[in-house]
Amino acid sequence: MRGKESSTLDCYDEHFNIYDEYQFAVVPHYRDMLDIVAKTCQRYLTPNSSIIDLGCGTGNTSLAILQKMPIKIYLLDGSPGMIRIAYDKIFSAHPGAIIGSKITDLAAESWADGLGSGYDAVVSTLVLEHLSSESYENVLKDCFGLLKPGGKLIVVEGYDETGSDMIQWFNEEMEFGKNKLDSELSEFVARLRSEKEIHYYTSKRQKEMWWKEAGFGCVNILWQYLCIALMVAEKPLCQEIDRSFTCVSL
C-alpha cells in the first residue's frame, strides 16, 4: 500500500458484502453507466476480446458487458472480498469468461506484474479517481504496456471542473438515494466512505493530458452525468500519436 490510497481499499473491503445493494440504490444513474460502458465495448471491441477489468469490484461492469457480447476477462481488485464476489457472480453466469484474477493495489508499482500484454481493452469504472496524480500516471503507463496496438482504454471516473457544483449536486442525489435503503445499512456505508474513501478529483482536460503523455491517442468523451464521465482512448497502431481530443455523444 502507498499513502492515503490504502484507506479507500480498506473502506471497500469492509462493505464488500453489501456493496451492490448500496451502489445500485444510491449512486445516481449507476445502471445507465454500466449500460453505456457495455455499449461502448460492443461498439469498439470484437466478440471474445480479452479485457482487464481494472478495479473490478463485485463484477458489475464485466457482467454488463457480457450481457452484450462474449468477452474474456481478467479481474483485478485490491479487495479480496470484492474480487471473490466478482469471480463467483461471473463464473456462475458465464463460466468460460474469466481468464484470470489478481488481488492487487493499483497504487503499488508492481500492480501489473505477471499480467502479460496484448489485451484488447482495459476497462475501469469509478476507480481511478481514488488514485493520487503520481499513481494515476503510473497506472496509465502500465495500461498502455498491457494493451495491444489499437487496444482501447475505457474509463468512467469522477471529475471536478473549476467553478462547477457538479460534485455537490451528485452528492446531494446520493443522499436522496440513501432514503431507499435500510437506515442502519446506509449509515454504515456512508460513515465508512466519509471516514475512509478518498477522491483525487481534477478536470477532464488534466486527465486528457496525462492520457496523452502515457502515449494514448484518439481521446473521446462519450458520456457524462454531472461529475461522472466516460472517456475512451486508443493505443496507436504506430509510433505516431494522434493528439486530437473530441467530445462526442452516443
Cα→Cα distances 2→24, 107, 152, 197, 216, Å: 30, 6, 27, 14, 26
Residue 123 CA, distance from chain mean position? 6
84, 91, 93, 62: which is closest to 13 by C-alpha?
84
113, 115, 143: which is closest to 131 by C-alpha?
143
Containing domain of residue 87, as a range?
Answer: 5-247
pLDDT averages per 10-residue partition of the chain, 250 residues: 73 95 95 98 98 98 98 97 97 97 96 97 97 97 98 97 95 92 92 94 96 95 97 86 45
pTM above 0.85, yes or no: yes
| CB environment 164-201: b (16+ within 10 A), e (fewer) | eebbeebeeebeebbeebeeeebeebbebbeebbbebe
Sorted by sequence, the CB contacts under 8 Å of residue 55 that are 6+ apart come out as: 76, 77, 78, 106, 124, 125, 126, 127, 128
Note the pLDDT of residue 3.
54
Note the pLDDT of residue 248.
44
Grid cell for residue 162: 473549476
Note the pLDDT of residue 239.
57
CATH number of 239's domain: 3.40.50.150
Query: How many domains does the chain contain in total?
Result: 1
Note the pLDDT of residue 23.
95
Query: What is the Cα–Cα distance from 207 to 184, expressed in whole angstroms?
Result: 37
3-state SS record for the chain: CCCCHHHHHHHHHHCHHHHHHHHHHHCCCHHHHHHHHHHHHHHHCCCCEEEEEECCCCCHHHHHHHCCCCEEEEEEECCHHHHHHHHHHHHHHCCCCEEEEEECCCCCCCCCCCCCCCEEEEEEECCHHHCCHHHHHHHHHHHHHHEEEEEEEEEEEECCCCCCCHHHHHHHHHHHHHCCCCHHHHHHHHHHHHHHCCCCCCCHHHHHHHHHHCCCEEEEEEEEECCEEEEEEECCCCCCCCCCEEECCC
